[in-house]
A = this chain, B = another copy of it.
Amino acid sequence: MNKIYTGKTKDVYEIDEKNVLLKFKDDVTGKDGVFDPGENQVGLQIEGAGRSAVAMTKFFYEKLNAMGLNTHYVSANVDKNEAVVKKAKVFGQGVEVIVRYRAVGSFIRRYGSYIESGTKIPPYVEVTLKDDDKNDPLITKDALAILNIMTEEEYEELAKLALQIGEVVKNELAKKELELYDIKFEFGMVDGKVALIDEISGGNMRAYKGEEYIEPLKLEKIMLG
């Protein structure tokens, strides 16, 4: 298989015209040795991180597919750190979609003059551009349309889907008495429709048990162990 992309936390191989293989690595994003899903750089390696991410991805995506929500997911092999997904066309050079339930992370870095860190907020969706050099800038629905990254209709579809999927993840965590503070998704076009792509794992979300932040590997153990 041809490797067609080398990512920060996974590599992508071409299977055929319609499908690609995601090979998960043990690298996670963070800074100065501390995990941070909002960071752009690979900050540390955690043994088992790849396997954990595939297991979580399989768990959540099978639920989403069963619910009829649009995703790129086909199947996964947890023991091989692999997932098969449909090919997707990303928006522009790629966008990230964050759903927030508490004001933390970059929300506080931007708006900390208006709200205390950790405050509960109504479910809130925002889109940032994947652009490491520019620190993943926030972008509005209007600017996405002007820059031909996505139409207003695609934005509305994406925001609705992000809220629905966020709710599924939030509810699954709640079953284990965990609280989802925020989660970062990627979306693209799959078979002509807006669909969730990439992984869903501890590395994409902030989960808390009471006051305690739950690290990705521990989160997977609580969720699936």
What's the tally of chain A residues with a CB closer than 8 Å to chain B?
30
Contact A146 B124 (CB under 8 A): yes
**Complex Cα distance A151/B126, Å?**
17
Contact of A143 among B126, B142, B148 (CB under 8 A): B126
The A contact surface, by secondary structure, is mixed
Copies in the complex: 2
**Complex Cα distance A124/B115, Å?**
28
Residues of chain B within 8 A of A121, CB atoms compared: 146
Residues of chain B within 8 A of A124, CB atoms compared: 142-143, 146
Residues of chain B within 8 A of A93, CB atoms compared: 113-114
**Complex Cα distance A129/B115, Å?**
13
Contact of A122 among B133, B137, B146 (CB under 8 A): B146
The answer to whether the Cβ of A175 comes within 8 Å of any Cβ in the partner chain is no
